[in-house]
Structure 1
Amino acid sequence: MTHKTWILTDVSDSKWVESLNLSSRDLGLPDGIRWAVTKRTLRGGLQDGVDVVEVDNGDLRLTVLPTRGMGIWKGSYRGLPLGWDAPVRGPVHPRYVNLADREGLGWLQGFDEWIVRCGLQSMGPPGVDRWTGPDGQPRSAPLTLHGRIANLPASFLAITAETQAPYRISVTGQVDESMLFCPRLVLRSTVTTWPGSNRLLIEDQVTNTGGQPSEMQLLYHCNFGPPLLGEGAGFRAPIARVRPRDAYPEQIVRDFQSYGKPEAGRQEEVFFIELLGTAAEKKSLAVLHDARQEKAVGLRFRLSELPFFTLWKNTASERDGYVTGLEPGTSFPNFRSVEREQGRLRVIQPGETAVFTLEVEICDQRAGVSALLDEIRGLQGEQEYQA
């Protein structure tokens, strides 16, 4: 047998394991292979009852939140913090998040993750969506900011560790987003890393378990604050087209790939981007690097799966959330009716499964950062982006 699996949650079997401590030593792996996985439940305050799975591959550490839609709360790589310092002190249990609060902005009450999903039935701003049903009758539904998936707990959770090279460690969870007279969507997510690696891999499957075709949206809200973000930091990607969400001053639009210092009272800026990718597999890459180009994080994904990219810049004061979001998605985070009119909503048929892959690479040396930027220059080629 080349792997071992530990099931920590399975509601179909009334199973829930409160705590677990695993390491490479427990499996008798070679001395050079070192990793550890811990599962525990947080207590006290708004985090009371939140299950966390902490994975340490020797260099990269990350905390998965099965209670919050399998998001990744925090991370670090060789001492480099990954995530941001949010006004919210989480992770916040979904029971304390009222999605309908403040006219549908309640999602922000729990928003402090490094990587959080928006979706699955909708994402983008709140409001009342209106459309025509399959029977020709008008339909409407209130939508809240960025959907429900980040505030739904996993109904299944398992840890898998390989006992042979490459000794990968995986956390798999299943989250159900369904209700009567509405779409039935199921997310099955696997987060994987390897001993001593600077990479993590997110492999998601979204299945329509209902009896009718269903619209679906998915966006990976990947958030970064200091020390990676700071004055002089930069965003780089192979860009075909870019447009601002709102009417910003010309200087802001011209400098959309660079970052200034924290500025109290500054409003968020959002840019919608279409990226270039490899000819064969449509693979693309987006990078955030620090001011000295000595540290960076790269996101790799397929444009056939996540064709639209959003850059979110919130360079307010650090107390108010100095953060930027690199956000590959199935559509832009406009209101759902706008994306429907533009033909960007994905529809999955009954029984169909949509697959999404996001790879995160962290570099803490100049050579690694240079390699990422060279890769972007190669994808960009001689093509200039359209604004």
Structure 2
Amino acid sequence: MAEAKTWVLTDQATRVWVDSIEIGPDDLGLADEGWSIRKTTLRGGPSDGVDIIEVDNGALSFSVLPTRGMGIWKGAYKGLDLAWNSPVKGPVHPSLIDLQDRGGLGWLAGFNEVVVRCGLDSMGAPGTDVVPNNMGVPSEVALTLHGKIANTPASRVEIQVIPGDPTELVVIGEVHEAGLFCPQYRLLARASTKVGSNSLLIEDEVRNEKAIDAEMELLYHCNFGAPFLEEGARLEVAAREVAPRDARAAEGLQAYETYAGPTVGYVEQAYWYDLLAGKDGKTLAMLRNAAADKGVVLRFDKDELPAFTQWKNTASIADGYVTGLEPATDYPNSKAFERQQGRLMKIGPGETRRATLAIEVLDGAASVAATQGEIANLQQTAERQVHSAPISKYSDL
């Protein structure tokens, strides 16, 4: 078997930066056909200077944004779009994002990806926290919506082709969220797919580079629109417990698993889940369309990502018709509240935490039914408790 081939596209330490490259099977003498990896840099408008790596395995394609924290911008599988119609058009360069804007909601001015990492020092709602300042004195600081990692460019990026049956296509990026007298995290993000497959695998490592303990939060904001989201679409999960985030979410509790069509004036709703997992710790969530012949599935380890949030924003198409499926280390409340609940992930000096997230696209009734059966079997292991109102364990009342 031929050895893996690696191309370094960005390395801040050695001043390497490759403007563009395209690789296919002919370049390596491989028998696989129809796949490619292509790197370019976008020019013009708010996207100016954003690096994009487009991976196509012959059936599934997706675009990685190293300039935006290694997020996944959009993708497609056999004509089914992995995307949503955000009011934000095209990737936005982080230099144009003011995270403090609109009371800490500036993150939304760049929000249009399919998969966005939120964290690492904080994620969730804007708020305040108390941390030691440069003099070691406890001081109040403002934390913005969903943290900084999605607006932090990768300092090192490489692509790999690993020959095999089938060949594996890989994008790896290293992102540092750090500052003097601040937390110091290193995210090593790996996105891969195999030629001809219907799935994308995200494998992340977060290392505490500081010489003292750290608290880390990480949420995968996975966002989908049509053709999976439509009137009558459903979220399928096996859950031990479900609770509305707030009074607004409680209004829609009778239909929390189903989705409305685009609705002018709709106000977002969110629900907290404690998912069930198998004996191996694995769990899954599926968004499927009304006809149950198209779906997108998230698979992850509940030990790594114990919290799950469903975000419903079935607003008009112009205003962003989208749902978010969000596995995470904890729930996207304020960091102070999550600390009170004992859910913040602790990382010792030099320690690493790992998270793996697989995304599968289903394009037929049989595969959707099989996944629904898998979820139903898991649900049989425990009765689901659905709370009629927000509860103090999950929401800061």
* TM > 0.5: yes
| Residues 121 and 216 in structure 2, CA contact (< 8 A), matched pair in contact too | yes
2:255 matched residue in structure 1: 255
Residue 227 of structure 1 pairs with residue 240 of structure 2 = no
- Tell me how far 1:34 sits from its aligned partner: 3.1
SS at match of 1:263: coil
Residue 294 of structure 1 pairs with residue 293 of structure 2 = yes
Residue 16 of structure 1 pairs with residue 17 of structure 2 = yes
| Residues 128 and 336 in structure 2, CA contact (< 8 A), matched pair in contact too | no
- Tell me how far 1:347 sits from its aligned partner: 1.0
RMSD of equivalent CA atoms: 1.5
- Tell me how far 1:371 sits from its aligned partner: 1.1
Supply the distance in 1 between the matched residues of 2:125 and 2:164 (Cα, whole angstroms).
46
2:368 matched residue in structure 1: 369
1:320 matched residue in structure 2: 319
Supply the distance in 1 between the matched residues of 2:220 and 2:292 (Cα, whole angstroms).
24
Supply the distance in 2 between the matched residues of 1:267 and 1:103 (Cα, whole angstroms).
18
SS at match of 1:320: coil
1:126 matched residue in structure 2: 126
| Structure 1: gaps of 5 or more residues | none
- Tell me how far 1:136 sits from its aligned partner: 9.1
| Amino acid in the other structure paired with 1:235 | L
Residue 109 of structure 1 pairs with residue 116 of structure 2 = no
| Residues 188 and 205 in structure 1, CA contact (< 8 A), matched pair in contact too | yes
Supply the distance in 2 between the matched residues of 1:263 and 1:151 (Cα, whole angstroms).
30
2:353 matched residue in structure 1: 354
Supply the distance in 2 between the matched residues of 1:291 and 1:35 (Cα, whole angstroms).
32
Which has the higher mean CA deviation after the structures are superposed, 342-351 or 33-42? 33-42
Q: CA 1:159/1:73 → structure 2, altered by over 3 Å: closer, same or farther?
A: same
- Tell me how far 1:126 sits from its aligned partner: 1.1
| Amino acid in the other structure paired with 1:385 | R
TM-score, with normalisation over the residues of structure 2? 0.94
SS at match of 2:103: helix
Supply the distance in 1 between the matched residues of 2:197 and 2:384 (Cα, whole angstroms).
34
| Residues 50 and 91 in structure 1, CA contact (< 8 A), matched pair in contact too | yes
In the TM superposition, what whole-angstrom CA distance separates every residue of 1:146-184 from its partner, at most 9, and x where no partner exists?
000000000000010012333101000000000010110
Alignment of 1:30-45 (within 5 A): 30=31, 32-45=32-45
Q: How many residues align?
A: 385
1:344 matched residue in structure 2: 343
Alignment of 1:27-66 (within 5 A): 27-30=28-31, 32-66=32-66
Which has the higher mean CA deviation after the structures are superposed, 246-255 or 108-117? 246-255
- Tell me how far 1:62 sits from its aligned partner: 0.3
| Residues 60 and 197 in structure 2, CA contact (< 8 A), matched pair in contact too | yes
| Residues 122 and 143 in structure 2, CA contact (< 8 A), matched pair in contact too | yes
| Amino acid in the other structure paired with 1:193 | T
2:306 matched residue in structure 1: 307
TM-score, with normalisation over the residues of structure 1? 0.97
In the TM superposition, what whole-angstrom CA distance separates every residue of 1:188-240 from its partner, at most 9, and x where no partner exists?
00000000000110000000011111111000000001121000000010101
- Tell me how far 1:103 sits from its aligned partner: 1.2
Which has the higher mean CA deviation after the structures are superposed, 119-128 or 320-329? 119-128
Q: CA 1:157/1:250 → structure 2, altered by over 3 Å: closer, same or farther?
A: closer
| Residues 120 and 148 in structure 1, CA contact (< 8 A), matched pair in contact too | yes
| Amino acid in the other structure paired with 1:260 | A
Q: CA 1:336/1:132 → structure 2, altered by over 3 Å: closer, same or farther?
A: same
- Tell me how far 1:378 sits from its aligned partner: 1.1
| Structure 2: gaps of 5 or more residues | 387-397
Supply the distance in 2 between the matched residues of 1:146 and 1:71 (Cα, whole angstroms).
14
SS at match of 2:318: helix
Alignment of 1:212-223 (within 5 A): 212-223=212-223
Supply the distance in 1 between the matched residues of 2:153 and 2:109 (Cα, whole angstroms).
16
Q: CA 1:106/1:248 → structure 2, altered by over 3 Å: closer, same or farther?
A: closer
- Tell me how far 1:124 sits from its aligned partner: 0.8
2:8 matched residue in structure 1: 7
- Tell me how far 1:38 sits from its aligned partner: 0.3
2:180 matched residue in structure 1: 180
| Amino acid in the other structure paired with 2:5 | K
SS at match of 1:319: coil
| Amino acid in the other structure paired with 1:321 | G
| Residues 97 and 110 in structure 2, CA contact (< 8 A), matched pair in contact too | yes
Alignment of 1:78-97 (within 5 A): 78-97=78-97
| Residues 2 and 164 in structure 1, CA contact (< 8 A), matched pair in contact too | no
| Residues 27 and 163 in structure 1, CA contact (< 8 A), matched pair in contact too | no
- Tell me how far 1:125 sits from its aligned partner: 1.1
Which has the higher mean CA deviation after the structures are superposed, 85-94 or 137-146? 137-146
- Tell me how far 1:114 sits from its aligned partner: 0.5
